[in-house]
Amino acid sequence: MLHLPLRNMNYTLLGKKLGMTQLYDGTVQVPVTVIQAGPCPVLQVKTVETDGYNAIQIGYETKKEKRASKAEQNHAKKNGAATPRAIREVRCDGIPEYNSGDVLDVTKFEEGQKIDIIGITKGRGFQGVMKRFNVKGGPASHGSMFHRRIGSIGLCQWPGHVFKNQKMPGRMGGRQRTVQNLKVVKIDAEKNLILVKGGIPGANGDTILVRSAIKGK
Protein backbone atom coordinates (compact mmCIF):
# COMPACT_ATOMS: atom_id res chain seq x y z
CA MET A 1 0.00 0.00 0.00
CA LEU A 2 1.02 3.64 -0.43
CA HIS A 3 2.10 5.22 2.83
CA LEU A 4 3.26 8.81 3.26
CA PRO A 5 0.78 11.74 2.99
CA LEU A 6 1.59 14.31 0.33
CA ARG A 7 2.58 17.72 1.65
CA ASN A 8 1.14 20.00 -1.02
CA MET A 9 -2.08 20.13 -2.95
CA ASN A 10 -0.80 19.53 -6.44
CA TYR A 11 -3.70 18.00 -8.35
CA THR A 12 -3.66 14.37 -7.26
CA LEU A 13 -5.47 11.19 -8.31
CA LEU A 14 -5.33 7.55 -7.33
CA GLY A 15 -5.10 5.15 -10.22
CA LYS A 16 -4.01 1.77 -11.51
CA LYS A 17 -1.20 0.71 -13.82
CA LEU A 18 -2.66 -1.17 -16.79
CA GLY A 19 0.51 -1.91 -18.75
CA MET A 20 2.80 -0.56 -21.46
CA THR A 21 2.39 0.00 -25.19
CA GLN A 22 3.75 2.31 -27.86
CA LEU A 23 2.58 5.32 -29.83
CA TYR A 24 4.07 7.03 -32.88
CA ASP A 25 4.92 10.71 -33.03
CA GLY A 26 5.35 10.95 -36.77
CA THR A 27 7.99 8.31 -37.43
CA VAL A 28 9.32 8.28 -33.84
CA GLN A 29 8.27 5.40 -31.62
CA VAL A 30 7.32 6.52 -28.10
CA PRO A 31 7.04 3.91 -25.27
CA VAL A 32 4.14 4.76 -22.96
CA THR A 33 2.58 3.42 -19.78
CA VAL A 34 -1.23 3.28 -19.67
CA ILE A 35 -2.71 4.46 -16.37
CA GLN A 36 -6.35 4.37 -15.35
CA ALA A 37 -6.68 7.38 -13.04
CA GLY A 38 -9.86 8.17 -11.11
CA PRO A 39 -12.61 9.04 -10.79
CA CYS A 40 -11.75 9.74 -7.15
CA PRO A 41 -14.51 10.94 -4.80
CA VAL A 42 -13.54 13.31 -1.99
CA LEU A 43 -14.40 11.41 1.19
CA GLN A 44 -13.35 14.00 3.77
CA VAL A 45 -12.03 17.55 3.99
CA LYS A 46 -9.74 18.33 6.93
CA THR A 47 -8.94 21.86 8.09
CA VAL A 48 -6.71 23.45 10.71
CA GLU A 49 -9.74 24.36 12.82
CA THR A 50 -11.15 20.82 13.02
CA ASP A 51 -8.13 18.53 12.59
CA GLY A 52 -5.03 20.67 13.10
CA TYR A 53 -3.95 20.57 9.44
CA ASN A 54 -5.37 21.01 5.93
CA ALA A 55 -5.93 17.93 3.78
CA ILE A 56 -8.43 16.07 1.65
CA GLN A 57 -9.10 12.35 1.62
CA ILE A 58 -9.77 10.69 -1.73
CA GLY A 59 -10.92 7.19 -2.63
CA TYR A 60 -10.53 4.95 -5.67
CA GLU A 61 -12.60 2.06 -7.03
CA THR A 62 -14.99 0.12 -4.79
CA LYS A 63 -15.04 -3.11 -2.83
CA LYS A 64 -17.80 -5.38 -1.55
CA GLU A 65 -19.41 -4.28 1.69
CA LYS A 66 -18.76 -7.68 3.28
CA ARG A 67 -15.02 -7.01 2.83
CA ALA A 68 -15.23 -3.60 4.52
CA SER A 69 -15.52 -2.78 8.19
CA LYS A 70 -18.53 -0.88 9.54
CA ALA A 71 -16.33 2.17 10.05
CA GLU A 72 -15.26 2.11 6.38
CA GLN A 73 -18.83 1.69 5.17
CA ASN A 74 -20.23 4.51 7.32
CA HIS A 75 -17.33 6.83 6.46
CA ALA A 76 -18.10 6.45 2.75
CA LYS A 77 -21.91 6.60 3.10
CA LYS A 78 -21.64 9.86 5.05
CA ASN A 79 -20.28 11.44 1.86
CA GLY A 80 -22.64 9.64 -0.53
CA ALA A 81 -19.96 7.34 -1.97
CA ALA A 82 -19.51 3.59 -2.22
CA THR A 83 -16.90 1.93 0.00
CA PRO A 84 -13.57 2.62 -1.76
CA ARG A 85 -10.91 -0.04 -2.30
CA ALA A 86 -8.09 2.45 -1.76
CA ILE A 87 -7.98 5.65 0.32
CA ARG A 88 -5.26 8.30 0.34
CA GLU A 89 -4.87 11.55 2.23
CA VAL A 90 -3.39 14.55 0.43
CA ARG A 91 -2.03 17.43 2.50
CA CYS A 92 -2.77 21.03 1.45
CA ASP A 93 -0.78 24.18 2.13
CA GLY A 94 -3.93 26.29 2.44
CA ILE A 95 -7.66 25.77 2.88
CA PRO A 96 -8.80 22.93 0.55
CA GLU A 97 -10.77 24.09 -2.47
CA TYR A 98 -12.83 20.88 -2.63
CA ASN A 99 -15.87 19.71 -0.69
CA SER A 100 -16.92 16.26 0.47
CA GLY A 101 -18.69 14.48 -2.38
CA ASP A 102 -16.74 16.19 -5.18
CA VAL A 103 -15.30 13.85 -7.79
CA LEU A 104 -11.78 14.31 -9.20
CA ASP A 105 -10.94 13.02 -12.67
CA VAL A 106 -8.32 13.26 -15.43
CA THR A 107 -9.82 16.33 -17.13
CA LYS A 108 -7.54 18.70 -15.19
CA PHE A 109 -4.43 17.11 -16.68
CA GLU A 110 -3.24 18.24 -20.11
CA GLU A 111 -1.23 16.60 -22.86
CA GLY A 112 2.41 17.67 -22.66
CA GLN A 113 2.15 18.33 -18.93
CA LYS A 114 4.75 16.90 -16.49
CA ILE A 115 3.48 14.62 -13.72
CA ASP A 116 4.91 12.54 -10.85
CA ILE A 117 4.03 8.88 -10.27
CA ILE A 118 4.29 7.22 -6.85
CA GLY A 119 4.09 3.43 -6.65
CA ILE A 120 5.47 0.28 -5.03
CA THR A 121 8.22 -1.49 -6.96
CA LYS A 122 7.92 -5.17 -7.83
CA GLY A 123 9.02 -7.43 -4.99
CA ARG A 124 11.95 -9.65 -6.02
CA GLY A 125 12.44 -11.52 -2.77
CA PHE A 126 15.88 -12.37 -1.36
CA GLN A 127 18.52 -11.70 -4.02
CA GLY A 128 22.30 -11.78 -4.26
CA VAL A 129 24.59 -8.82 -4.85
CA MET A 130 24.96 -9.38 -8.59
CA LYS A 131 21.25 -8.85 -9.21
CA ARG A 132 20.62 -6.46 -6.32
CA PHE A 133 23.57 -4.07 -6.80
CA ASN A 134 25.10 -5.05 -10.18
CA VAL A 135 28.28 -6.33 -8.51
CA LYS A 136 30.68 -7.84 -11.05
CA GLY A 137 31.14 -11.18 -9.31
CA GLY A 138 34.03 -13.56 -9.85
CA PRO A 139 35.42 -15.45 -12.85
CA ALA A 140 32.88 -17.55 -14.74
CA SER A 141 35.48 -20.15 -15.74
CA HIS A 142 35.75 -23.72 -14.42
CA GLY A 143 37.47 -24.30 -11.13
CA SER A 144 37.40 -20.75 -9.77
CA MET A 145 34.84 -21.67 -7.05
CA PHE A 146 33.95 -17.96 -6.87
CA HIS A 147 31.25 -17.03 -9.37
CA ARG A 148 28.32 -15.02 -7.95
CA ARG A 149 29.42 -14.54 -4.36
CA ILE A 150 29.98 -11.18 -2.68
CA GLY A 151 33.74 -11.40 -2.10
CA SER A 152 35.49 -9.33 0.58
CA ILE A 153 33.26 -7.26 2.89
CA GLY A 154 36.01 -5.58 4.89
CA LEU A 155 39.48 -5.69 6.42
CA CYS A 156 40.78 -8.04 9.08
CA GLN A 157 42.55 -6.59 12.12
CA TRP A 158 41.54 -2.97 11.43
CA PRO A 159 38.78 -1.84 11.77
CA GLY A 160 37.72 -5.35 12.79
CA HIS A 161 34.09 -4.95 11.73
CA VAL A 162 31.94 -4.56 8.62
CA PHE A 163 31.25 -0.96 7.65
CA LYS A 164 27.71 0.32 7.74
CA ASN A 165 25.84 0.29 4.37
CA GLN A 166 28.04 -2.48 2.96
CA LYS A 167 26.25 -3.90 -0.09
CA MET A 168 25.21 -7.44 0.76
CA PRO A 169 22.53 -9.96 -0.24
CA GLY A 170 19.04 -9.18 1.02
CA ARG A 171 15.46 -8.40 0.17
CA MET A 172 15.03 -6.58 -3.12
CA GLY A 173 12.08 -4.49 -4.30
CA GLY A 174 8.74 -3.86 -2.62
CA ARG A 175 9.66 -0.24 -1.80
CA GLN A 176 7.74 2.98 -2.42
CA ARG A 177 9.38 4.97 -5.20
CA THR A 178 8.57 8.24 -7.00
CA VAL A 179 9.28 8.88 -10.69
CA GLN A 180 9.31 12.60 -11.39
CA ASN A 181 8.58 14.75 -14.44
CA LEU A 182 7.04 12.15 -16.74
CA LYS A 183 5.46 13.67 -19.84
CA VAL A 184 1.75 13.14 -20.49
CA VAL A 185 1.53 11.91 -24.08
CA LYS A 186 -2.22 11.40 -24.37
CA ILE A 187 -5.40 11.65 -22.26
CA ASP A 188 -8.65 9.74 -22.83
CA ALA A 189 -11.18 11.45 -20.55
CA GLU A 190 -14.03 9.09 -21.48
CA LYS A 191 -12.09 6.04 -20.27
CA ASN A 192 -10.17 7.87 -17.50
CA LEU A 193 -6.85 6.97 -19.11
CA ILE A 194 -3.51 8.79 -18.97
CA LEU A 195 -0.64 7.71 -21.22
CA VAL A 196 2.76 8.80 -19.92
CA LYS A 197 6.14 8.50 -21.60
CA GLY A 198 8.37 5.82 -20.08
CA GLY A 199 7.96 3.26 -17.31
CA ILE A 200 6.63 3.55 -13.77
CA PRO A 201 7.07 1.46 -10.59
CA GLY A 202 4.96 -1.61 -9.90
CA ALA A 203 3.29 -4.50 -11.66
CA ASN A 204 0.23 -4.31 -13.89
CA GLY A 205 -2.86 -3.79 -11.74
CA ASP A 206 -0.99 -2.11 -8.87
CA THR A 207 -2.47 1.00 -7.26
CA ILE A 208 -0.44 4.14 -7.92
CA LEU A 209 -0.72 7.84 -7.20
CA VAL A 210 -0.63 10.46 -9.97
CA ARG A 211 0.04 14.11 -9.21
CA SER A 212 1.02 17.21 -11.14
CA ALA A 213 4.80 17.54 -11.00
CA ILE A 214 6.23 19.37 -7.99
CA LYS A 215 9.59 20.18 -9.60
CA GLY A 216 8.57 20.15 -13.27
CA LYS A 217 7.98 23.25 -15.37
Question: How far apart, in Å, are the Cα atoms of 94 and each of 5, 8, 9, 14, 154?
Answer: 15, 9, 8, 21, 51
Output the pLDDT for position 123: 95
Would residue 7 count as lying in a domain? no
| 200 SS3 class | coil
Would residue 4 count as lying in a domain? no
> What confidence tens digit (pLDDT) does each residue in 27-77 have?
899 999 999 997 998 888 888 888 888 898 999 988 888 888 888 888 888
Task: For residue 108, give the DSSP letter.
Answer: G
Of 135, 157, 172, the one marking the end of a domain is: 172
Would residue 162 count as lying in a domain? yes
**Using CA atoms, how far apart are residues 12 and 62, in angstroms rounded to an integer?**
18
Output the pLDDT for position 120: 95
Whether residue 133 is found in the same domain as residue 117 = no
Whether residue 25 is found in the same domain as residue 117 = yes
Would residue 3 count as lying in a domain? no
User: Is the model more confident about 21 or about 217?
Assistant: 21
> What confidence tens digit (pLDDT) does each residue in 73-124 have?
888 888 777 888 888 998 888 888 888 888 899 998 999 999 999 999 999 9
Structural domain for 147, as ranges: 124-172
Give me the CATH number covering residue 216: 2.40.30.10
Give me the CATH number covering residue 165: 4.10.960.10
**Using CA atoms, how far apart are residues 99 and 135, in angstroms rounded to an integer?**
52
Would residue 8 count as lying in a domain? no
Burial 83-115 (b: 16+ CB within 10 A, else e): bbbbbbebbbeeebeeebeeebebeebeeebbb
Would residue 6 count as lying in a domain? no
Output the pLDDT for position 6: 45
The pTM for the full model equals: 0.83
Output the pLDDT for position 172: 95
> What is the total count of domains within the chain?
3
Output the pLDDT for position 94: 80
Whether residue 29 is found in the same domain as residue 45 = no
Average pLDDT, integer, range 178-189: 93
